Amino acid sequence: MKQKIKTALISVSDKTDLSNVLKTLNKYKVKIISSGGTYNTIKQLGYPCTEVSTYTGFKEMLDGRVKTLHPKIHAGILHDRTNKKHAKEMTKQKFPSLDLIIVNFYPFQKIVLNSKNNKEIIENIDIGGPTMVRAAAKNFKNVLIVTNKSDYADLINEIEKNKGKTSLNFREYMSSKAFGLTAYYDAMIANWFNKKLNIKFPERKTIFGRRFKELRYGENPHQKSSIYISDYNDKELGLQQLNGKELSYNNYNDIFASLEILSSFKKISGTVIIKHANPCGVSINKSALHSFKNAYACDPVSAFGGVIACNYKINKNIAQEINKNFLEVILAKGFDKDALIILKKKKNLRVIDISKYKPKNHTTIKNFDGSFLLQDKDKSIFNKKILKVVTKNKPSVKEIKEMEFAFNISKFVKSNAIVLTNNFSTIGIGAGQPSRLDSCKIAIQKAKLFQPKKIKNSIVASDAFFPFADGVKLLTNAGVRTIVQPGGSIRDQEVINAADKVKAKMIFTNIRHFNH
């Protein structure tokens, strides 16, 4: 059913790009009603317009908080044109119909980003705008609602195509977009209050997101995918791509996994290599080049086609090392001019500057079919006050520091996680096995394959307790002499005895790091 546009109400915070819309509405002799700054803009552009207060016969009040909240406006939007009772009431009140509503909201998210003044933020919570939008969206059978200037071109095309009218399909589609906007807007406000009041787990949790980009496909080619930004700054991720193909779903998944680990490092240079969301090489070192080489040496086979993230600037020497290997993505805090020239020789290599990336969320979400789990991020490593040395042999201060490094990496490895390290670099990682013993075998196998000389006197971290002594025996027989684990098994003493037997050192952290 096509509906003729006779009267339009325009009230927008963003007044750009209105000219072409007004030109089209004027062409089809559409009467325009507006308020405040929008009214002034329309008049300045040279188009006839009636101010809302003149239209309703009621002046704005409460510093503009009440201006469009009037029965004449909302009845004009909400009445059903096919309902005889509605028609009689409208005739009796002398209320005309409103056929087109163009509204965008007070810039709440912009104010949140740029101001810490709570009063200013609250004043920029729009009430009248969302109320009109919801009313028009509900009555899409009769009314067209437009909430984004990016839809102006489609609006003009729709009006021109239908000679001043709009189709039901178009009105319903715009209604769906409008309800998406009001839900998004309200979710941002609710989340702002939750953050302000430090409410981590509210009774009702709404996750807001703006589509940043539609991706070629998901984890596999037969799956569709998009990436959304859930932040008040919903225009950018803080990732500047300088070279290479478009990023895929799997690229993003690995990128965010690498950035989580990278953000856990302090000021020292760190390199993280990710494959299928698991680290396959991690190293921190005063030398950025050594950090890169050590991380790659951990498992060069798994690193093939992986994602490498660095918390330092890439120079010419490191770029030359990178280009010796096949990688999907390289992330770093800047690139020297010479380094970029080298890296851009590989057209498909995705080169990304993460200088402006800042981790913001403090929770993690896992979605299921009709439900989701929400939890705090695992920000702890271990608490030195509750560390317990359980073996006769005690670790040195340096060994405890490296234990902390190894135990930190275990947080990011899929459980069951076993991480072997030597001199603040991983030399073997066992990830994602149903059996902890299998993870031990894989970590040892990797270390023996690529860095056999470094297993002797190496350090191992386990994300959860050893349920039996078999894992510890396997590790110590391979050369491990320092073990960090949470403890807490009913067989802890058997595990301790196995370590003491070979004069190994072991500490219990009393903190577990499952990552499923």
Mark whether 276 is an active-site residue: yes
CATH architecture of the domain covering 3-196? 3-Layer(aba) Sandwich (3.40)
pLDDT at 10: 92
pTM: 0.88
CATH 3.40.140.20 fits 237-353, yes or no: yes
One-letter amino acid identity for 404? E
Q: Cα angle at 26 between 133 and 160, to 5 degrees?
A: 80
| Beta pairing partners, 350 | 329
Asked whether the beta carbons of 419 and 410 are under 8 A apart, the reply is: yes
Neighbours of 82 (CB within 10 A): 10
| Beta pairing partners, 9 | 33, 101
- From the list 138, 165, 344, 346, the catalytic residue is 138
| Beta pairing partners, 485 | 508
Asked whether the beta carbons of 303 and 279 are under 8 A apart, the reply is: no
| Cis check: omega of the bond before 416, within 30 degrees of 0 | yes
Q: What is the pLDDT along the chain (516 residues), one digit of tens a residue?
A: 788 899 999 998 888 889 999 999 999 999 999 987 898 999 999 999 998 888 887 777 676 677 777 888 888 898 988 888 887 887 888 888 999 999 988 788 888 888 888 988 998 888 888 998 999 999 999 999 999 999 999 999 999 999 998 999 999 999 999 999 999 999 999 999 999 999 999 999 999 999 999 999 999 999 999 999 998 888 889 999 999 999 999 999 999 999 999 999 988 999 999 999 999 999 999 999 999 999 999 999 999 999 999 999 999 999 999 999 999 999 999 999 999 999 999 999 999 999 999 888 788 899 898 898 999 999 999 988 899 999 999 999 999 999 999 999 999 999 999 999 999 999 999 999 999 999 999 999 999 999 999 999 999 999 999 999 999 999 999 999 999 999 999 999 999 999 999 999 999 999 999 998
Domain 237-353 and domain 388-508 have a common topology? yes
Which secondary structure element, helix H or strand E, spans residue 372, and what is its range? strand 372-376
pLDDT at 61: 65
Each domain of the chain, given as residue ranges in start order, spans 3-196, 237-353, 388-508
Phi/psi of residue 484, nearest 5 degrees: -120, 130
What's the CA gap between 437 and 442, in Å, rounded?
Answer: 9
Dmax over CA atoms of the chain, in Å, equals: 96
Task: Could you please state the CATH topology (level 3) that the domain comprising 388-508 is classified under.
Answer: Cytidine Deaminase; domain 2 (3.40.140)
- From the list 276, 316, 333, 346, the catalytic residue is 276
DSSP annotation of 377: -
